[in-house]
Homo-oligomer: A and B are copies of this chain.
Amino acid sequence: MEANLQKASSEELILSAAQEVFMEKGLAGARMQEIADRAGMNKALLHYYFRSKEKLFQVVITKAISSLLPRLLGVIETDLDLFDKIRHLTSEFIGFLNKNSFLPVFIVNEINRNPQFFFKNVVRQEKAHLDSFQRQVEEAVHQGRIRPISPDQLFMNMMSMVVFPFLAKPVFKEALGIPEEEYQRVIDRRRIEVADFLIQSLRP
């Protein structure tokens, strides 16, 4: 309560500046000097708070991932009907990414550079939640409510349609020949359209 009213501490300033720079430039491309500048303080302070660039990066990326994951799992573990769950998941997720549109590039990039890191710190215990989604799909198939489909493939399709437009934004914008604001609108329409597209495909 009280803490929220204080202006941000140096540590917080560094972290948010670091997140910006790392997301734009990646680990190797980021400069401690630039982070310091954006945080409005001296380079040496970064080392005072976080020993090294590597350590700072680790903190930033861990925070980024844990801002993303719980949000999804929260929706997955509700006891909604399959179609409603799909609608909530896609809409929530796209809405969130729209406010953090650098996150996907950042995560994809670093996850591919250093795969083992993530699965030490994140994921792992979250797999159970995913399994429950898979079972829900299988059940719906069994009841004939949706056409036969592999839960894995459905999951991949859903995630792909949600995340990829953020990764490929510059390409799509150019390919479709539309400016920034228009692309924003196209993306925003996807909060509904992706779920529609999925559900249409699932008709028996």
A: residues with CB less than 8 A from B are 24-29, 105, 108-109, 111-113, 115, 118-119, 123-124, 127, 130, 147, 149-150, 152-153, 155-157, 159-161, 163-165, 167-172, 174-177, 186, 189-190, 193-194, 197-198, 200-203
Contacts of A164 in B (CB 8 A): 156, 159-160, 163-164, 167
Q: What is the bound-complex CA distance between A85 and B201, given in angstroms?
A: 18
Q: What is the bound-complex CA distance between A183 and B75, given in angstroms?
A: 26
Contacts of A170 in B (CB 8 A): 111-112, 115, 118
5 contacts between A and B (CB under 8 A): A29-B113, A123-B171, A150-B189, A152-B186, A153-B189
Q: What is the bound-complex CA distance between A161 and B160, given in angstroms?
A: 5
Q: Which of B29, B156, B171 contacts A26 (CB 8 A)?
A: B29
What residue of chain B has the Cβ atom nearest to residue A134's Cβ? Answer: B176
Identical chains in the assembly = 2
What residue of chain B has the Cβ atom nearest to residue A154's Cβ? Answer: B197
Contacts of A29 in B (CB 8 A): 26-29, 113
What residue of chain B has the Cβ atom nearest to residue A190's Cβ? Answer: B153
Closest-CB distance, A123 to chain B (whole angstroms): 5
Q: What is the bound-complex CA distance between A124 and B177, given in angstroms?
A: 9
Closest-CB distance, A150 to chain B (whole angstroms): 8
Contacts of A108 in B (CB 8 A): 105, 108-109, 167-168
Contacts of A198 in B (CB 8 A): 201
Contacts of A174 in B (CB 8 A): 118-119, 123-124, 127
Is B105's CB under 8 angstroms from A112's CB? yes
Further contacts, 5 of them, CB under 8 A, given A153-B197, A197-B201: A26-B113, A118-B170, A124-B174, A153-B186, A153-B193
Is A25's CB under 8 angstroms from B113's CB? yes
Is A127's CB under 8 angstroms from B171's CB? no
